[in-house]
Chain A
Amino acid sequence: MGGHFGDLARMRHVVTYSLSPFEQRAFPNFFSKGIPNVWRRFRASVFKVAPPMIALYLTYTWGNSTYRASKRKVHADFENDE
């Protein structure tokens, strides 16, 4: 079923190097580089994600307040009542 290891892709002249886990830190620069990276990823996506969510919030609040207002008495309608 599907691909099997050894029969996936033709790769030639690719050399990979790696360090022993005992010769490196497990989570290098986790905070010093990680936090600026979170900020970078946020900036890259915020203008694509936030506008629809802002529109969602505004629609929600406007819709609910308009509905509530429609259930309230409008004093101007009764101004000329005796």
Chain B
Amino acid sequence: MASLRKTQPLLKIANDALVDLPAPSNISVWWNFGSLLGLCLIAQILTGLFLAMHYTADVNTAFSSVAHITRDVNYGWLIRDMHANGASFFFICVYMHIGRGLYYGSYLLKGAWNVGVILLLLVMMTAFVGYVLPWGQMSFWGATVITNLLSAVPYVGNALVQWIWGGFSVDNATLTRFFAFHFLFPFVIAGMAMVHLLFLHQTGSNNPLGLNSGGDKVPFHPYFSYKDLLGFAVLLVVLATIALFTPNLLGDPDNFTPANPLVTPPHIKPEWYFLFAYAILRSIPDKLGGVLALLASILVLLVVPFLHTCKLRGLTFRPLSQFLFWALIANVVILTWIGGMPVEDPYIIIGQLASVLYFSIFLILFPLAGWLENKVLGLT
């Protein structure tokens, strides 16, 4: 007599994903970030929903509605701080999750990987439009700078930008539609996350050895249900620490000033999680070139599976590629730093060299190292 969790149609779906799912016994902490992203999404949707009950998406009242939430709404200050810092934690988890995928060769699960790239783009778009909503100086001018990039599209660029704006500049029409997008996209992300898991569960998870783990699986519950729960606790403690002790650590002081289209801040920059892409954008003096480089910096992930050359799946037993991986991480940190600096010497040349290195690592050095490791390890 099979248990209800295995026969009832709805419970069966939950069971096959969270209870009886065969999981490799050796997946490490780097495999926690998937479930942590799910937690971040739920946390952002819940805090966002409560913020949406009090926020007004109108240029005359948006900024003060956020102040009203922070000062008058019961625990509004906490909901607002958790939502703002929750976005940063979302990106911390996203970058760790992608790093795991690159390091352990998980990108060879192409279905899950490609849906993952779509999820990354959706999360970035959600965060971008969300940052506009408080209608501070950086909200307004960040939106102006980035939406203006679309004018680089040949022939239809200017029409495209005005279509997105709903007018001739970032104004009320832009704010209201950005609020609509910011509310909608998380549900699209939730749906795509389910597609992401659908693809993942066709094969099951990768593992740190990169070998077939069919002979050594354990059930998801209790091993990874409890491990993920511990991960949730750690994330919530760190998020609460930031939100309660240093809520403005990752923010920009300019966003405490209401948006003023007549006053341009001296240094317009996005939030930290976009700075590496911002640096790549600014490294090319041509507008269209910069926009293409910006897109390529994310879309390069789609070609990574096709550039896998080594017979070994992950980097666990590949010291040369490991060195390149850490070079990539250090390079992205340099790009993040440069993205927050003014466009002056020596930051210009550093940014350009780091951008070239970023693409070189993905397109040339990683494949070359894999090919070399095949030879050195006698795998061919």
How far, in Å, is B215 (CB) from chain A's closest CB? 4
Grouping DSSP codes into helix (H, G, I), strand (E, B) and loop, the B interface class, with mixed when no group exceeds half, is helix
Given the interface pairs A52-B326, A52-B329, A63-B350, the reply to whether A5 lies near B20 with Cβ below 8 Å is yes
Q: CB of B346 within 8 A of chain A?
A: yes
Given the interface pairs A8-B217, A51-B323, A67-B345, the reply to whether A1 lies near B16 with Cβ below 8 Å is yes
Q: Which residues of A contact B327 (CB under 8 A)?
A: 52, 55
Q: Which residues of B contact A48 (CB under 8 A)?
A: 319, 322-323, 326
Annotate A19-63 by CB proximity to B: 1 below 8 A, 0 otherwise: 000000000000000000000000001001101110110011011
* Cross-interface CB contact of B215 among A2, A9, A53, A63, cutoff 8 Å: A9
Q: CB of A80 within 8 A of chain B?
A: no
Q: Which residues of B211-265 have CB atoms within 8 Å of chain A's CB atoms?
A: 212, 214-215, 217, 219
Q: CB of A18 within 8 A of chain B?
A: no
Q: Which residues of A contact B214 (CB under 8 A)?
A: 3, 8-9
Given the interface pairs A60-B334, A70-B345, the reply to whether A5 lies near B326 with Cβ below 8 Å is no
Given the interface pairs A60-B337, A66-B345, A70-B344, the reply to whether A4 lies near B326 with Cβ below 8 Å is no
Give bound CA distance, A37 to B203, whole Å. Answer: 33
How far, in Å, is A69 (CB) from chain B's closest CB? 10
Grouping DSSP codes into helix (H, G, I), strand (E, B) and loop, the A interface class, with mixed when no group exceeds half, is helix
Q: CB of B274 within 8 A of chain A?
A: no
Find out whether the CB atom of B330 lies under 8 angstroms from the CB atom of A66: no
Give bound CA distance, A52 to B320, whole Å. Answer: 13
Annotate B175-207 by CB proximity to A: 1 below 8 A, 0 otherwise: 000000000000000000000001001111000
How far, in Å, is A61 (CB) from chain B's closest CB? 11
How far, in Å, is A8 (CB) from chain B's closest CB? 4
Given the interface pairs A3-B204, A63-B347, the reply to whether A52 lies near B219 with Cβ below 8 Å is no
| Chain A residue at minimum C-beta to C-beta distance from B332 | A56
Q: Which residues of A contact B134 (CB under 8 A)?
A: none
Q: List residues of A whose CB falls within 8 A of some B CB.
A: 1-5, 8-9, 11, 14, 45, 48-49, 51-53, 55-56, 59-60, 62-63, 66-67, 70
Can you name 29 A-B residue pairings with CB atoms under 8 Å? A1-B17, A1-B202, A2-B16, A2-B21, A2-B22, A2-B201, A3-B22, A3-B204, A3-B214, A5-B22, A5-B219, A9-B214, A11-B215, A14-B215, A48-B322, A52-B330, A52-B331, A53-B330, A55-B330, A56-B330, A56-B333, A59-B334, A60-B337, A63-B346, A63-B347, A63-B350, A67-B345, A67-B347, A70-B346
* Sample of 9 more A-B contacts, CB < 8 Å, known A52-B327, A63-B346, A66-B346: A3-B204, A9-B212, A11-B215, A14-B215, A48-B323, A51-B326, A52-B323, A62-B346, A67-B341
